[in-house]
Structures are given as structure tokens and as C-alpha cells.
Chains A and B, each alone.
Chain A
């Protein structure tokens, strides 16, 4: 198991593509999911250290995915970074309330995303 793995969850193929590229460049092990169900499936197979989770997902939205992960104590070490194109304060608060660790608004600075993900990676194992 790679100690530094990232799960990218988004339904926009181009955004997934860019995030995948960025995470790989940063040296993380990257997996991808296009909707809520497959995201949870991926976590179940192997919990990543960090999840980049879009809010607006087909089938099961980001809040629900976040809640489900937080409900399982085995996954409490998984860091969740929410991504959203809806920039309202209420959504930000809702995400944090659901157990997200951080919240990034689209469009984001690529450098910032990488730094944030790195910051949430468990220290000392890099």
C-alpha cells in the first residue's frame, strides 16, 4: 500500500484529467472516481490518505459520500478536501459540518491544490 495515495472524485472528465496530472506530478499515488458510488467503492477497496471530492456528483453527492466515510471509524484518518464550483458560504459550512477537512473553490490555483493535499498527507512518511 502506497503511503501517499489520493482519490480524485469528479464528474467533469477534464477536471479529473488535470487533477490526476497534478497529483502524479507531486508524486502521489492517484486513483479516480466519476460518481459517489464508485468513490465509496474505491475507499472500501483501499482507503486513500486524501480524497479530493467534488460536491456535485451523479448518483450520490459529495456531502453524502463525506458523511458515509465519516460514519465509518476505520476511515477516520482519511482526509477529505471538498471541491465545489458553488462558492456560497452555506455550502462551505455544510461541507465542514459533514466532516470535510478543507474546502477548495473552483476554479482553483493548481499550486494551492497541490500544497493543500501535501499538507494533509501524514507527516514523516514522505
Chain B
């Protein structure tokens, strides 16, 4: 393919990315811009997949089999923890206006420039190879496209830089990064355009790779089964299906761990996942979308690698370029172009990396240094916003050129994957301070400094120097025999640790040293006031709301409003500064133009706004220059923080208390409802008793008054009226007695006199006592009793009361003249049963269940209510239950009711007591 064509297509594609970025920036202002989509967020995190993935995975798979997988396994595992880890980082960063990972670590440890500077420096040194890797990939694949077939050793640029494709690629990408990565002076603001372009390139590289994989698998071969069968027959490939020595497992674990960390700590990942995050809940969606992406993009890695080995192994083509070389070998130009563009997309990950690095360098390395240089008189300049942006843009250019210089210097010394892993190990040095910082309050700045410095030194010694040695910049004997011939200092076998892959070896030592120093020094050193505050704000970010326990509470100095405004204006511009102050004044209802001294909150606001532009450490320096006084003492900090945690503990206690109270209230409410019901029942009872008492009393009074007022009444009438008075008086007496009986029974105050009796005799006595009633109404009473005596120990009078009551009821309902009532005693195995049966109308089924309740009389349906108090059956039930038996009614409507009760064969336990508790 000719150069012009490939270059032209590349240029058109990059212009398309420019357009998308431009469009993304234009739309960012509106609600529902592309940043609102969790898919865009997840796709932007896929910036993780660079040229290394696109080309390098195939190369590694072709040479070492499944060893390419841990790089994707790690992030997948970490994604499961994102809701805990990443969300916390996002929350902290939003509150503190964090602009980069260097800023994050510096802010956590007291906002001192030294720590941020160290992180920025490590990132720069560690990531230049990575950026170089991307440039190298672009340049190699460009060569492959133009000169296919090309041998592996003839790849990287030997000509002058202006004939080198990598140089031009570097320039274009730098321009892109400058245009879309430095649009705002506030680096904590979102770069919508850049994120849109990155999401787009993530989609392109995925589609391109899947397309290439599908075509190679299904067109070059007849499906995966065919391809894998052929691979299994290939002597070298067959071996790749097996895991090797135990050291391989260690290597696996090491790679998995390092990539778990990289997905959080790589500056570009921090940029897209934390700084560019607009919604915390996107983290949850990305936690499954991103692993899905990784799965998809790895689907065809093995098939392509196997195809490459099977078809191209003998041609001397570098395995890293198989994915491109396979279509080219068949002259599938279109597919090759698509793949090339996919690879180019993957390489644009460098843009984000560069922007992130430049922000770090500007805010954490260059700016603090410039601020120290008094002779620059930065504090006199009126507008520093352009300076801040210029520094950042220069840093972008510098970083990319450094990457270019690196590939020119080291040549083709390392495969793509190798270079990538060197960078991964470098950023892994951030992990202890990064993760420890958000979960361990005790971690100190000295600990973080010591850990990172030590880990980085080991990394440089065991990984970075050897790559330089490989390129011939350092004598080769340094790696082979150790410096000065000291074998125990050999970079790949430090202190005699041999048999590990260089990366694993470096990782083991650097992390050991890093963690050891971090924890050890942290435990031995003291935090100062600001660091103590920041540690609490970071670790307890979800508990301490920034508003209430923000740093302003710890600020005691004073600054004038004018000084602060002046400072802000110079770094973020007049308009934004004015807006911020107006907003503050509106929210707090103050007139800042008439206020001289700024309160702590305004000072803090300025610091946060500055932090977005120049980083937290520089912001701290700037504000403390303007503001007199310092933060409160460490003791006071502890006090305030303790108070905060006490408030939290107290509120938790309050919550528990209020839960208890709620439960108690519920119980009380239930008890109260029950009481109210009892009260209503008592009320009803009293009303009914009153009614029942007043009724006979009414007749008595009426007739008494009639007799009194009419002395001349004829004797017959006089006699009749007096008879009524007597019978109503009796009724009244009966009622009063029954109410008293019931009260005694219910309260348990009834006295019982159990004696040995013949039960048959008691029944006969009761029949005799009611004989007159039966005779009066012409009702016949039949007794069905056993032949012999039935000895029974009981209270005769109470039992008589029950039977008489039942007999009176029966006669009341039995028809006059033809009425028949049967009184029966049945001896059963364990009980004695007494039955009273009449041939009256029976009882409606619905009435039966209420019959034994107070003042329930059958007869409401009758024209004549039967005389009675409505308490008789209740008293019967109480007595029978007290004697250990049961009473019920067989309603038999239409046939006549049958009442029955049982008595236990053995005298009831209650029967033997003098006074006992009633059954209710």
C-alpha cells in the first residue's frame, strides 16, 4: 500500500476524532450531554486498552500462550471492588477538587508540594516508556502497512526524525492533547471533548479487533474448532496450552496484582475514572460494563495468535504485528486499514496519559517550584491563568517528545508488553499511599514519601536501568554480573533472588520495600495538624460531610476579602473569580464589597478553587501567603475530630434510642387500644346494668305513685298494682344478686363450699325447686337419671344455681300446655354430662356463640322479651368452668334447644378449695 494512502486515511481518522472532541466540548454545557451516559464513562475507562492490548497481547500469546490474560484479569477483579474503592476516590476528589493522582496523594498527606512532586516525577519516569510504546506501535504498524512484508529487525526508525512516521504521529497527538486537554485552567473540570473522543476510539478499536478476529477465525480457518485443532498439532503451540513451572504461577499472580493496581493508579485511568467522572453511580455501571469490554476485546487474541504462528511463523514477521500482517498477507487491504485504524485508536490512549501527566507536572512539580522562585515575582503578576495553561501545554509537548526520544534511544530493545509492564510496575509504587491513604488514618506523609521513594529506587534499579543497559547506555556487565562485579546486586537477581521473571522480581522487591517503609515509617512518625485533618476527611469522607466538618473549621487565620479576590483573579481569571464571590455572597447573604475580613469558609473556598487550577499543594502555599495565622494546633484538631466522631456516635445512639422508643410506643398503643376496648366493654356493661335496674324501678315507682295519688282506687286494681310492685321488686333483687355473683365470680372472691354429695340428688332437688314454674305453664319435666347414687364432691348450691337457671330458661321457651323438658344425667368415661332439652323454637344458629355473654338474651326477635336478666347463662358458664367443666348449647332451631355441661369425674381441683380464683 502506498504511503500517501495510509497517511491520508490516518489523517482523516484523526480529524474525525478532532471533530468528535470538538462536538463533545460544545455539548458539555447542556444537560444530558454525552458525559451523562454510563456507557461513555465505561468506554472511556477502556482507554486502559492501548496498543499493548491491540498488538502486544497477540505477540505475547504467540510466544507464551495465556500469559497475556492477567493484565485483564486484574482490572476485572478490581472492578468488583470499585463501588468501595473507586467511588470513595471519586467522592474525595469532587470535594477537594483533585486534579490528578499526584494531587490526590499530596492532598491526603497534608498538601505539601514535596510528595506531589515525587509522585509526578515517578509518573514521568515510569510512563515515558509507555508513551514511547504507543509511538513505537504507530510507527511499526505504519511501516507494516506500507512495506508489507517487513522483517521484525528492520522496523524502527533509522533515518532522520523528519522522515520518521513516529515523529509526526507524536506531533499530531500532542496537538490533540493541547487542544482538548487544556481547555480550562481548572483541571478538575471535565474535558468532555477528550472523553468523547476516547469513548469513540474505544469503540473503534473494539470493533476493529473483533472484525479482524472474526474474519481470521472464520475465513482463514473454518471456525475456532479447526483453528485450535491445527494449533494443537503444532509442536510449539501445543506447549503453550500448558502452564509451565511453579514460577509461572508466581508470575501470574504478580501480573494480576500489578494490573489490579494499575487500573486505579495509572494517571490516565485516574483521569478518566476519577477526575472525569460526573456521576458516582456511573461507577456501578462501569463495574460490569468495563469487564465486559475486556472480555470482548480478548475473545480473539488466542485465535489470531495461533493463526499468525501457523501461517506466518516462518516469514520472520514480528508476532506483535500478526493482527495486521494476517490480512495483508491475503491482500485484504480494507480489513488491514480498519485494523490499522483500530491500532491507531488504541495508541491515542497516550493523549489522556499525556494530559494527566502534564497536569501533574504543571501543578505538582513546576508550579510549586516557580512559586518558590522569588525573583520571578509571580505574586506581582496580575493574570496567571495563561501562565498555568502555558506550563501545562509545554509539559504535554515535552512529555510526548521525551517519549519519542526514548524510542530513538532504546531502539527496538523491548517488545510492547515488556515496555508496558515496566510502566505498570512504576505506577504500582503509588498503590500503598493511594489505597492506604483512603482506608488508614494513621498513614503519614513521611511514610508515603519513604515508601514511594524506596519502591521507586528499587524499580529503577531492577527494571529501568536494565532497559537502558539493553539499549547500550549502561554497560551490559551491570546486568549480567552486578555493579562492580557484586553478584548479589545483580538487578534481575537482587540479594540472590533468582528464577523469577524480571518484572515479577522487580515487583516483589519494590513492593516489599515500599510497603515496609510506608507502614514502618508511618507508625514511627507523627502527623501534623493539616495532615491529621486531611486523613480524617479522606478516610471518613462518607461520614463527615465536608460542609460541617470541612477544613474551614480548623482555620483560624484571617485574610482580607480583597487579598483573596486578587489571588483568585490572577489564577482563575477575573470573571470566574467574580462569579465565585458573588455566588458565595448570595448563599451566605453577605455583601462582600463591604466586608473587610474573610471568614474561614471563604478562605477555604478560595483554596479549593485554586486547587483546581494549580493543585492542592500549590493552592495551600498561595493561600497561606495571603492569610495571616495558621491552622489550629494539633491538640485542637484532635479535639474537633473527636467531637465529630462523638457526634456521630451520639447520633447513632440516638437512632437506636428512637428505634426503641418506636417499639415501646407501638406496644403502648396496642395496650392502650386494648384498654380502650375494655373500657368500652365496662362502659357498655354499666349502661346495660343501669338499664336493667331502671326498668323494674320504673314500674315500681309508677305504680307506687299511682297508688299514692289515687287513694280511691278499686280494691281489685289496687291488689293487682301492689302485686306488680312486689314482683318487680323481686326482679330487682334477683338482678342485684346476679350482678354481685358475677362480680364475685369474675374477681375470684366467690366462696366455695365443696362437700360430698349425690349428684343425682342435686338434680332432683333442682327439679323440685322449679316445679311450680313448670306447673304454672303446663310444661312437663322428665328426669332421666342413673339408677344408683352418683357420689360427687362439689359445691351443691352453685351447681343447683346452674341447673335451676337452665331449667327456668327451658320452661320459658317451651310452648305453653304442650311443652316438654328433659333433664338428663349421663355418665361417661371421664366426665359426667348434664343435659337440659326443651321442645321450644330452638335458638337461631347465629345467636348461639353469643349466648354465654353478658346481657345477651335470645328473644330480641320475639314480640315479648322473656323476663330475665341476661346474666344467668354467664354466671352458669363461670360456675361450670370453675368446677372444671364446660358448658355449651346445641341450638337446634325449630326443634328446641339443648343445653349441656360436663363435670370432671374426679372432683375438680377447684372443688377442693375454700376460696379460689375464678375461671376468668
> A residues within 8 Å of B by Cβ?
11-15, 17-19, 21-22, 25, 34-35, 38, 56, 58-59, 85-88, 106-111
Residues of A within 8 A of B4 (CB): none
Please give the distance in Å from B854's CB to the nearest CB on chain A. Answer: 16
Q: List 19 A-B contacts (CB under 8 A).
A: A11-B864, A11-B865, A15-B695, A15-B698, A15-B702, A18-B702, A18-B703, A25-B710, A58-B861, A58-B862, A59-B860, A85-B694, A85-B698, A87-B690, A106-B694, A106-B698, A107-B698, A108-B701, A109-B701
B699 touches A110 (CB 8 A): no
Interface residues of B in 653-694 (CB under 8 A from A): 687, 690-692, 694
Q: CA of A94 to CA of B724 in the docked complex: distance in angstroms?
A: 32
Which residue of B695, B698, B703, B861 is within 8 Å of A108 (Cβ)? B698
Q: CA of A17 to CA of B700 in the docked complex: distance in angstroms?
A: 12
**Shortest Cβ distance from A55 into B: residue:** B691
Residues of B within 8 A of A109 (CB): 701, 705
Most buried by A among B694, B698, B703, B859: B698
Please give the distance in Å from B695's CB to the nearest CB on chain A. Answer: 5
Residues of A within 8 A of B861 (CB): 58-59
Please give the distance in Å from A39's CB to the nearest CB on chain B. Answer: 12
A110 touches B695 (CB 8 A): no
Q: CA of A107 to CA of B700 in the docked complex: distance in angstroms?
A: 9
Q: CA of A111 to CA of B692 in the docked complex: distance in angstroms?
A: 23
Q: Is the interface of B mostly helix, strand, loop or mixed?
A: helix
Q: CA of A92 to CA of B724 in the docked complex: distance in angstroms?
A: 29
Q: CA of A17 to CA of B722 in the docked complex: distance in angstroms?
A: 13
Tell me if B848 is interfacial: C-beta within 8 Å of chain A: no
B687 touches A88 (CB 8 A): yes
B860 touches A58 (CB 8 A): yes
Please give the distance in Å from A125's CB to the nearest CB on chain B. Answer: 25
Tell me if B728 is interfacial: C-beta within 8 Å of chain A: yes
A-B residue pair count with CB separations less than 8 angstroms: 72
Residues of B within 8 A of A14 (CB): 699, 703, 724, 728
Other A-B contacts than A13-B864, A107-B697, A111-B705, 19 sampled, CB-CB below 8 A, are A11-B865, A14-B699, A14-B728, A18-B699, A18-B702, A18-B706, A19-B702, A25-B710, A35-B863, A38-B863, A85-B690, A85-B694, A86-B691, A87-B694, A106-B697, A106-B698, A107-B701, A108-B698, A110-B705
Q: CA of A102 to CA of B591 in the docked complex: distance in angstroms?
A: 75
B702 touches A12 (CB 8 A): no
Q: Is the interface of A mostly helix, strand, loop or mixed?
A: loop
Residues of B within 8 A of A108 (CB): 698, 701-702
Residues of B within 8 A of A110 (CB): 701-702, 705-706, 709
Residue-wise interface mask of B (845-868) relative to A, using a CB-CB cutoff of 8 A (1 in contact, 0 not): 000000000000001111111000
**Shortest Cβ distance from A13 into B: residue:** B864
Residues of B within 8 A of A35 (CB): 863
Please give the distance in Å from A86's CB to the nearest CB on chain B. Answer: 5
Known: A17-B724, A86-B691, A88-B687. Is A107-B863 also a contact (CB below 8 A)? no
Please give the distance in Å from A95's CB to the nearest CB on chain B. Answer: 15
Please give the distance in Å from A32's CB to the nearest CB on chain B. Answer: 12
Q: CA of A56 to CA of B705 in the docked complex: distance in angstroms?
A: 24
B865 touches A15 (CB 8 A): no
Please give the distance in Å from A56's CB to the nearest CB on chain B. Answer: 7
Residues of A within 8 A of B863 (CB): 34-35, 38, 58-59
Please give the distance in Å from B84's CB to the nearest CB on chain A. Answer: 65
B864 touches A56 (CB 8 A): no
**Shortest Cβ distance from A88 into B: residue:** B687
Q: CA of A25 to CA of B695 in the docked complex: distance in angstroms?
A: 22
Residues of A within 8 A of B699 (CB): 12, 14-15, 18
Q: CA of A59 to CA of B728 in the docked complex: distance in angstroms?
A: 24
Closest 4 CB pairs of A and B: A18-B702, A85-B694, A14-B699, A107-B698
Please give the distance in Å from A103's CB to the nearest CB on chain B. Answer: 14
Residues of A within 8 A of B691 (CB): 56, 85-86
Most buried by B among A12, A21, A107, A110: A107
